Structure 1
Amino acid sequence: MDTIEVNDLKKQATTDALVIRYRTYSRRVRTMLYLGGVLQDRTHSVIRTYIIGFLVILMCLSHSIFLLNFSRDYADNLTLMVKCFGQMSSFIAPALMSACFLIKREKLLELHETLNDLFERELEQDQETTLAILHAFDRQSYIMFFITTSLILSHVCPPLIFIIYQSVRHIEPKGYRLPFLAKFPWIVPINGGFLFYLHFLYHFFIGWWVIFTINSVDSLFGFYAFQISSILHAMSIKLRSNLRSREVLKICIQIHGRLLQCSYILEDIWQLIILRMLVTNACVICALIFEASQFTDITMNEVFSFIFFIALKLLQTFIYAWNGSSITSASEYFREGIYFSDWPNSSLDHHIRANIIVSMMQKPMIIKTLKISSVNVNMFINIMNTAMSYFFLLQSLDEGG
């Protein structure tokens, strides 16, 4: 008896730890959304939300224009053009994400409220089953945040350390540089002064939006994928353990219908974000490989920047693909749960039976980008194949030139 009680206590302690871990995961995503300027919440002022959102769009798009202006002066330098394209893809991303969240604000709030309500109901009934796959999702945001922050710091820290060093040593500055490539329509002094530090602060905030806006939006997609997958997984377990329960079948079919609508909303909000990620990541991965093949004299800072950048693009692509596959797999598992629930022999009315047949005949939930590509692991493989094709094309152009 004592052994059984000890096992029960250990099991309860493990479950409580999972609940705490989920609450921490939820708060972390919310905090990142707030810091990234893309938090959509009914408790926050709508005017404030739009002001911050437009600020992110204005700053990131303006810097993309300044970077494009810079690249025009080096159109004959293919390696530098490749580097400019890689940076521009990172600066456009926060602007697009902020714009999508502002335009789809009401749908995003509806998605969040619906999924949160359904997930909390499942959590009350069976915490262990609902949180069984939590560990596979909550680590993603940690890894992505670390890589993105390291990448931005590799650009911001060297010029900042140089400025601090010369200030402490009272060395008269001969020339400072800004963290990111850019050519402004006006002259920016390179020997310090208020105007230079104002531009440095502008670059600092650009790096801030890249870190927190991109990571928060990517993490939010993973968070919603986790909630949808967990609810479907929990319902599948119910269907297998309650073979002839009329009420369980009825509730599961109703929840599945709501989750199906949530998947459509999720696809509607993220389709442009994912499409941009697909196109730019394939090109950037190709560009980075090409840039690495051109390296002759390289500093350690450039090595770390290259490693962090290509790791970020590979991981970002894989995480989106894996999250999409998780939703599809959980949906297929749910359909199998209905099939094995022995519903033909249960006392169900015609309406519920019709809904069950419709659910079984429907295709699994698949997140798509503008009906062009499905978000799954095959997408990651296609991106890698495309990147290598672009690389060989660039190599041919370079050799031909």
Structure 2
Amino acid sequence: MNLNKYLTGLVATVAASSAFASPLLNEGFNDISTLGASGWVMTNNSAAGGSTSWFQGGDFFPAAAGPASSYVAANLNNAGFGGAVSNWLITPEVAMTNGEKLNFSLRLLGEGVVDTVQVYYSTAGASANVGTTTSSTGDFTLLGTYSASADTGWTANSLSLSGLSGATTGRYAFRYLVNDTAINGDYIGIDSVSVSAVPEPTTALMLLLGLGVVAFSRKKQLRLLALAGLSASTLVAQAAEPQTGANGLMSFPNARVVVAPELSATAAPAGAGMVAYKDAAGQLVGPSAEQAADLAAAAVPATSAKAAGRLALGGRIAPLTTAKGGVGRKLDDSSASFAVIHKDADGNLVESCVPGEDVAHHLAHGPSLPAVKGEQQ
């Protein structure tokens, strides 16, 4: 077996599958009646009197790909005779980053009159606001314009985003534009719309460099080193261009980072993990407001045996240490079984059913094992 060829093929496969992002949007318009359910928006701001809006293609030419009618079309009848056409086809909300590409196929029929399609983008999240007049554009910014008075045939187009201040979300939009249907406007088609993110140039260069080293290295150690470098570069590609928001959190494409709430000093907030209290009968129960406050107090270094006897379950999995060396454990909601244990005078492990003086005494004087044990489910 040629090890160099094997390693090169393996690394190339990993690079292709991990460093280069999957499409964020992919639409072939096989059935445009389903577009609304998948987040697309159609807004026709053309002058009154039009008899059409966006419709299933196939009347004048076949689709760029797939079945003959699998594209979305519009024509001069979007407005009445002598009116102005401004008909918007707006994509679902997608993640947006610098270098991202909008890809689509476009055909302008023309036939001696001018057809125009403009492409826009908005970074206003889910907003589909394009105003209400034939000239308004709302939240959208022009990205590209295509115009012709003769049949262009299907053309594959790609437009890149740039100048964004950071990662965000928004929509793209196609606008069919005719200034006067008495003298211009015919028929247009749009097909194969996709949105894809691309790796940073430095990431691509790292991958290519690693492939070159693997391919030409004659020493096993150098090949292994190159593979390690490629693995690191792939990890970098997965977290390309993290952005830091006003709250100090980092955000990544297709991922959301949030702050987990902490247990407060007065109550246990919803979603902060599991909080339990052992009553006089030895049963774990949901704590009252007063008991929750005692539990919260035990989440910081205890100042008394009484505080040490109330164990907080919730928040981050981190040890609790009392002033006299007692050790406890806060468990999150991934743990479902709990027991409070201590050593008796003979050194045997026993369960403490009442979280009173007995548990407090052993916690305050430093048991040799964690005071709370959680069993992972």
By percentage of residues, which structure has more helix?
1
What TM-score do you get using the length of structure 2 for normalisation?
0.22
Where relative contact order (Cα < 8 A, 6+ residues apart) is larger, the structure is: 1
Question: Max radius of gyration: which structure?
Answer: 2
